[in-house]
Amino acid sequence: MSRKIVVTGIGATTPLGGDAQSTWRALLAGESGISTLEQPWIEKYEVPVTFAGQAKVAANQILTPQEAKRLDPSSQFALIAAREAWADAGKPDVAPERLAVEFATGIGGVWTLLDAFETLQERGPRRVLPMTVPMLMPNGPAAAVGMDIAARGGVRTAVSACASSTEAVANALDRLLSGAVDVVVAGGCEAAIHPLPISAFAAMHALSKKNDTPASASRPYDVNRDGFVMGEGGAALVLETEEHALARGAKIYAELAGGAVTSDAHHITAPDPEGTGAARAVIAALKQAEASIQDVVHINAHATSTPVGDIAEYVALKRVFGDHLQNIVVSATKSSTGHLLGGAGAVEAIFTILALKERVAPPTLNLDDQDPEIVLDVATSPRKLPDGPILAISNSFGFGGHNAVVVFRSYEG
């Protein structure tokens, strides 16, 4: 008997909104979450990139001061998103031992680490706060979420750069399919709008330098794309077995039908130009979903707006879908949100789920002049998706040669 896994709750805090629905509405409305940074450190360090996608609603407006004090900003976003998703799912009544967390981050508690080093330098080791270690560790967000919902079925953190939270969703699927647990809160977060990561990403020419036009800087597939735009926030999904969801009368957004992870072993940062690793991930995820390529009507692409990355993903998709690719509506939502790194996959999983549920592919901003080498049908305004059972995939790729793909299927109750 094959077991189905379904999505019963969503939550997000992003540059577009403080919750999943307002994020989605802003996305459909074609809003940009990207703006010029006003922080004093921009000038102090002469940071070469002066804009990013900051969380629309600051975490300290949601959490109590004592909660915020003990959590790195990345964990704060995780907790906010997870609480929303958990409430949205109706706070499932599940034995703690049957409840797990898969919560990812790309970088971890970088603010905590660097603040603590500043304290050490300026005031000595005695003044380094004892909460520093639990706040900076990459599993901090997962642990915070796990404690909040009393998950005792395992709390884990996938760390695979910008593929992290798609990998977390794929890992959640495995745990649910294996029968180990009944419910998993899966997601990802990132809070790296800090002068050091910005400088480091800029040093490798990964970031857009369109400082004068922040809202149109993230332009996936456009001939004038010049790099990604950093974003921050978090997103979470409540995933559970269909059996468990139906037994408690939960609302169901979509089915998580497949997930796969592969690796390139090609280059530490550059994507494999042949796209074979990414293609294998798509094929494996579709196979797990027992789907054919013709079933796929929508792709939420990784599409970060880097010159080489967008092409490499296209090559991989072409390899998998061939001529059918022209029938698939592609959305590159980082054009609105920026790139949430370890949080990106979870945000985009939510977009993919809502696209299936509401039968609309969200728009891609700033695509004024599509790269002739990238032959994709990109939605530049909200695009109707077909009725009946449909399938969509969400891709994420990360430095290190990580490829992660998840497949969602529309759910007919």
339 is catalytic: yes
Tokens representing residue 9 in the block: 């709750």
Please tell me what DSSP assigns to residue 10: E
189 is catalytic: no
Q: Which residue has the tokens 């430095």?
A: 399
Name every residue whose Cβ is closer than 8 Å to that of residue 340 and which is 6 or more positions away in sequence. 14, 53, 188, 189, 190, 231, 232, 233, 234, 235, 347
Q: How far is the CB of 246 from other proteins (least distance, A)?
A: 40
Torsion of CA 292, 294, 297, 299, to 10 degrees: 60
Q: Which is closer to other proteins, CB of 134 or CB of 195?
A: 134
Q: Which is closer to other proteins, CB of 83 or CB of 98?
A: 83
The rounded distance, in Å, linking the Cα atoms of 231 and 338 is: 5
The reply on whether position 44 binds other proteins by CB under 8 A is no
Segment interacting with other proteins (CB under 8 A) among 63-71, 184-192, 323-331, 405-413: 63-71
Please tell me what DSSP assigns to residue 64: -
The reply on whether position 65 binds other proteins by CB under 8 A is yes
Name every residue whose Cβ is closer than 8 Å to that of residue 232 and which is 6 or more positions away in sequence. 15, 52, 53, 54, 55, 73, 77, 190, 191, 192, 193, 340, 343
Question: In 10 A of CB 290, how many CB atoms?
Answer: 12
Q: Which is closer to other proteins, CB of 65 or CB of 372?
A: 65
The rounded distance, in Å, linking the Cα atoms of 169 and 285 is: 12
The reply on whether position 69 binds other proteins by CB under 8 A is yes
Tokens representing residue 47 in the block: 């940071």
- Please pick, among 194, 244, 298, 339, the residue that the annotation labels catalytic: 339
Q: 38, 44, 122, 126: which one contacts other proteins (CB under 8 A)?
A: 126
The reply on whether position 131 binds other proteins by CB under 8 A is yes
Q: 45, 91, 117, 127: which one contacts other proteins (CB under 8 A)?
A: 127
Q: How far is the CB of 152 from other proteins (least distance, A)?
A: 20
The reply on whether position 129 binds other proteins by CB under 8 A is yes
- Please pick, among 194, 244, 298, 302, the residue that the annotation labels catalytic: 302
82, 185 Cβ separation under 8 angstroms: yes
Q: Which is closer to other proteins, CB of 69 or CB of 205?
A: 69
298 is catalytic: no
Q: Which is closer to other proteins, CB of 41 or CB of 117?
A: 117
The reply on whether position 121 binds other proteins by CB under 8 A is no
The reply on whether position 125 binds other proteins by CB under 8 A is no
Q: 40, 122, 130, 413: which one contacts other proteins (CB under 8 A)?
A: 130
Angle in degrees, 0-180, between the axes of helices 73-88 and 140-149, rounded to the nearest 10: 40
Q: Which is closer to other proteins, CB of 40 or CB of 65?
A: 65
The catalytic residues are 162, 302, 339
Which residues contact other proteins (rule: CB under 8 A)?
64-66, 69, 126-127, 129-131, 134
